[in-house]
Amino acid sequence: NSVDKFYLYGENRTLLSKPLESSLKDYLQYETLEEVIKNIERTNDKKIILYSPAAQSYDQYNNFEERGEHFNFLINKYWHN
């Protein structure tokens, strides 16, 4: 399997998009993780969301635990309703 789409957020999103531009990968940029989760395309197919932070998120979270807990909260809020 391959990645269908990259969703970038936070202050490093522009920096992280540079390699994707040159590889012609499909990506979208958002300000926050909540915007990403709300805007992931829904289909009737099974959806696998791999949350793999590529940089520190100190612009939005105090540590990786807080970031992970917020991710889980958002998945439950927007996808398990």
Distance CA 2, CA 65 (A): 27
CA 53 to chain centre: 8
Question: pTM for this one?
Answer: 0.77
pLDDT of residue 77: 92
Q: What is the pLDDT of residue 45?
A: 65
Ramachandran sector of residue 74 (left: φ over 0; alpha: ψ -120 to 50; beta: rest)? alpha
Q: What is the mean pLDDT of residues 9-20?
A: 89
Render pLDDT for 21-46 as a digit per residue (tens, 0 to 9). 888 788 999 999 999 998 887 655 66
Q: Is the pLDDT of residue 50 over 70?
A: yes
